[in-house]
Amino acid sequence: MALNPMDIYKLLPKTNCKKCGEATCMSFAFKLLNREKRLEDCKPLYEDKKYERQRKKLEEMLKPLEEATETGLIVNEDLCVGCGNCVVVCPVHVEKDPKGAAVGNGPTIDDPILRVEDGVVKVINMQACRRYGKNRVLCVVCRENCPTDAIRFLEG
């Protein structure tokens, strides 16, 4: 299920033509996954007919990523019981919401990353997650403390 840059790379033109602004197709693949680039930035893929099948496959493959620009972290709502462990452990919440999520309550800030709504966790503000953006770290804290494995990440 998890996307990895190698699978993306395999379907790119692999010519390292730099038209996307990246030195190599491989680094473009990484940036795609990071959502710092969009597939359309690889012009040859769209201009050259011979890449059409690969492009279609890539589009298919990256679809979850499109949805994930807002919800890079995916919650399986059927598994979530709304225990709030993930909300309380998230280090970003701990820092920003010392009187709310940090001490076990529902978030008191307006833009938490995660919040329990109608009994299940919803992703509200993915941009604040430590896994995303330029200085990302591979945080897995919320997933690690979910009793039902309801949380997973696109990138594994």
Residues 46-85 that bind ligand SF4 (CB under 6 A): 73, 75, 80-85
* Residue 94 near another protein by CB under 8 A: yes
- Give burial (CB, 10 Å; 0-12/13-18/19+) of 6: exposed
* Residue 32 near another protein by CB under 8 A: no
Residues 140/88, Cβ–Cβ less than 8 Å: no
Q: In which element (H, E) is residue 70 found? A: helix 52-71
* From ligand SF4, another protein, none, interface partner of 104 (C-beta below 5 to 8 A by class): another protein
* Residue 124 near another protein by CB under 8 A: no
Within 8 A by CB and 6+ apart from 20, the residues are 28, 37, 41, 42, 43
* Residue 8 near ligand SF4 by CB under 6 A: no
Residues in the chain: 156
**b/e map of 98-114 (b: 16 or more CB within 10 Å)?**
eebbbeeeebebeebbb
Residues 113/125, Cβ–Cβ less than 8 Å: yes
Residues 115-154 that bind ligand SF4 (CB under 6 A): 116, 121, 129-131, 139, 141-142, 146-148, 150-151
Q: Given candidates 39, 62, 68, 86, which one binds ligand SF4 under the rule CB under 6 A?
A: 86
Q: Which stretch binds another protein (CB under 8 A): 7-15, 27-35, 65-73, 75-83?
A: 75-83
Quote the tokens at residue 33.
């996954």
Note the residues at the interface with ligand SF4 (CB under 6 A). Answer: 12-13, 15-20, 22, 25, 28, 42-45, 73, 75, 80-86, 90-92, 113-114, 116, 121, 129-131, 139, 141-142, 146-148, 150-151
Note the residues at the interface with another protein (CB under 8 A). Answer: 80-85, 87-89, 94, 98, 102-106, 115-120, 144-145, 147-148
